[in-house]
Amino acid sequence: MTLVLASASPRRRDLLARLGIPLEVIPADVDESVLPDEDPLVYVGRIARMKAGAIASKLELAGAGEPGRWVLAADTTVTIDGLILGKAESDDEAARMLRALSGRTHQVFTAFVLARGSRMHESIVKTDVAMVEMSEDVIADYVACREWVGKAGAYALQGIAGSLVSSISGSVTNVIGLPVAEVIALLRAVGGPLPRFVAGTPA
């Protein structure tokens, strides 16, 4: 049974591939713009549903929506003080985000959706992340390394930015882009493809 990942994120792909889940990647192309005054929880849920729906519909139209072919879509955002920190578009924007996060605790929300045909199951996971105080020199050095490109909140926990995080409360993989334990639990509940060690087959 193959899981279709509706995302171009290499981090999500790698997290799932390491579990031995048969995987096909079909990225969803949707408008991820934030609506005026949109709540972060509403935003991530809306985008995840749009991604899942787009690929599930595409598979059905192509006659590829056979039983057992679940689509997994997800969206992750970083928030602080109710503001959504998406993917920085410039060095200056990345630096501003890092200054906002410096010495404070922020939230990372990931909404994920499993879809098959018109059926959708969804969940949202929150992780609290506390950052160390960052001097202007540290911020400038991190921005210069370019690790932040394409990352919500302008940092990558799995990379150099791991040294900028003082504590995490909640799912670590959620901060990377996909709350793996919660995704596996939902896959098990709907009868979707499971990691080989969960399904009882040696890796």
155 by DSSP, 3-state: which? Answer: coil
Binned at pLDDT 50, 70 and 90, residue 63 comes out as low
Pair 126, 151: CB distance under 8 Å: no
Mean pLDDT of 131-154: 97
**Per-residue pLDDT, 196:** 78
Render pLDDT for 12-27 as a digit per residue (tens, 0 to 9). 999 999 998 889 999 9
Pair 193, 69: CB distance under 8 Å: no
**Per-residue pLDDT, 176:** 93
- 190 residue type, one letter: V
Binned at pLDDT 50, 70 and 90, residue 189 comes out as very high
| Catalytic hit among 29, 37, 39, 75 | 75
**Per-residue pLDDT, 60:** 79
Pair 56, 117: CB distance under 8 Å: yes
**Per-residue pLDDT, 65:** 47
75 is catalytic: yes
Residue 200 has pLDDT above 70, yes or no: no
Q: What are phi and psi for residue 184, nearest 5 degrees?
A: -60, -40
Pair 171, 179: CB distance under 8 Å: yes
Mean pLDDT is lowest, of 84-88, 127-131, 193-197, for 193-197
Binned at pLDDT 50, 70 and 90, residue 203 comes out as very low
**Per-residue pLDDT, 140:** 98
C-alpha 126/C-alpha 42 separation (Å) is 13
Residue with tokens 């799912």: 171
Residue 161 has pLDDT above 80, yes or no: yes
Residue 201 has pLDDT above 50, yes or no: no
Nearest alpha carbon to residue 161 among 170, 169, 171, 149: 149
Q: What are phi and psi for residue 63, nearest 5 degrees?
A: 75, 20
Share of the chain above pLDDT 90, in %: 79
**Per-residue pLDDT, 1:** 79
Pair 6, 197: CB distance under 8 Å: no
Residue 175 has pLDDT above 80, yes or no: yes
22: which residues sit within 8 A by CB, 6+ positions away?
Answer: 1, 2, 3, 193
pTM as predicted:
0.89
Nearest alpha carbon to residue 127 among 147, 149, 153, 102: 153
Render pLDDT for 143-157 as a digit per residue (tens, 0 to 9). 999 999 999 999 999
90: which residues sit within 8 A by CB, 6+ positions away?
Answer: none
Question: To the nearest whole number, what is the mean pLDDT of the chain?
Answer: 91
